[in-house]
Structure 1
């Protein structure tokens, strides 16, 4: 789902001032990369695809709300299409084929009164249905949930000091931005009345290269992480990202007695802060999002039409670490590694490395035993 990205890009194309109003740029304090804005750090659950010494990769907002697009189609698109079909069957089809279609039953018994009725009553209703579909997919942004990227990917790279972004072309497209020019916005509430005002998030604003440029070349805005409760959570999330980029991981694991103002970034994140890097199946989505009744089904009706975005190889955005989809253990894609392990897709060596970082001592001992037995079998085969 890219509703906020689409809204910002669409308004910015219309007028630079409208795009800035969409993120409340002039109505809040700006936080550059050398200022924290929070005493401590915190991470929302299920927000990180991967974290390692080279890059931190995070999702964009809306994944937990994407099911609404699926259920909305039942109550918005389907009734509107039925109205349009009714109008077509009463007016256009008889003129083309000499038959009237009453919903799905074709019949040759019709007269001029049926055509008049279809045009006088059906045509205004069909126009209303078409307008409703347009508003649903374009003005309300639901087209960002179908036949596009399944999720947005924002990668913060410490080595290159760049931010790499994957998103649909009509939402601003893929882009590489300078980290040092980023500015955090904790309250990017939209002025667009079609947006959900109660959904808070962190926005990172990239100012234009030339403030006097009327076209605002280089200006952009990223929406980072999942939906959060308000500006305070946005400040803590920003501080986590900022600490990672400026200092990097400082400890292997966060101490259990860490104070509220602790700012250390863990090298090995607990699984609950990570999310699957790819298109999850129904059980995996349920595990991560804890959805309500039928939400998984409606989410899947949206996700099944989407594709998974991959970073262009020419960007070299992984700084040699590799991609989370290919090397989940080495890149710190914990949830992805757990899924691969459950499906038997990890090599024995990767299994040991995974359990060394995130497993129990018993599981690690068993994995090492399997590796030792495998090495013995290979040695025997080579003799």
Structure 2
């Protein structure tokens, strides 16, 4: 009789919680996390407790990923409208009585100081995926217009703070959902062409557009300065162009194989600004060179391809759209960060996933990975 009531071993009780986890995705994240810890140790070893804090943030993100992965996609869908509504309400509250730091009003005190725009990185794809799921099989052009309004409202509030980096990430997540939902190419091509033409005109007429006293409509002064600095950082090498110039010097000085671990002179002589956060890619490039960069990029490419594969294999439209959008968030993070450090994109506050220091960004990454794991897990459990 005692054998009947004997408890199963702990590993057997924990097995259902781990069963169905996507191994290739977890392996890619593990490799990127190792690269992040290695780089943070080198670039931040004389930066207080930054390395230990980075490891702690990774553990928090991993815990969040594990917990969220236990929530079925159907349950995640029920959070879409409440989370989006709360996020927009908090953004409105920030605009009315938010906390201003360094000229930007991005925070609000609700018992603790939070940055509501971070909520929208996950709330936006959740909401739009829910919207298209509810209209599956009966989509009309008006539904895409409504989806665009759902996207534009919070993005506009975030840009007003101003926070170009976060608004870009939220916009990318929302546009990804709308695109994957079947938006016609005829509606996508014209804005892309207009954007490319505008880019060419900015380059051609740089001297006139970036002349002293000339102000661009829509953009804030600092955003205009960032674009003009990108076009010619040598105009202010010790001021606004310093970040870009030092980042490019560090990347170039790494050469094919890099200077070696802990041997980066630009990094350790503190020429690279924000070397543990936004510009950590420059520190990585200096020490590990082109070979290290190719390996890092390969890791991100594998992560993105695996995320898209999970999206393709998902069993519902909601899961497919959500997995695709979350994957594109990872792509946008990596592409924008590497681009701005390399001098091909304006400098915005976008960290490099798993590499850059930052607790809030790491929590967002953990949530995103948890959602991808949940979708992959639900598919495997259905198949078994």
| Shorter-chain TM band | under 0.3
- Larger fraction in strand: 1
Q: TM-score, normalised by structure 1?
A: 0.22
Q: TM-score, normalised by structure 2?
A: 0.22
Which of 1 and 2 has greater Rg?
1
- Larger fraction in helix: 2
> Which structure exhibits the higher relative contact order, with contacts defined as CA atoms closer than 8 Å and separated by 6 or more residues?
2
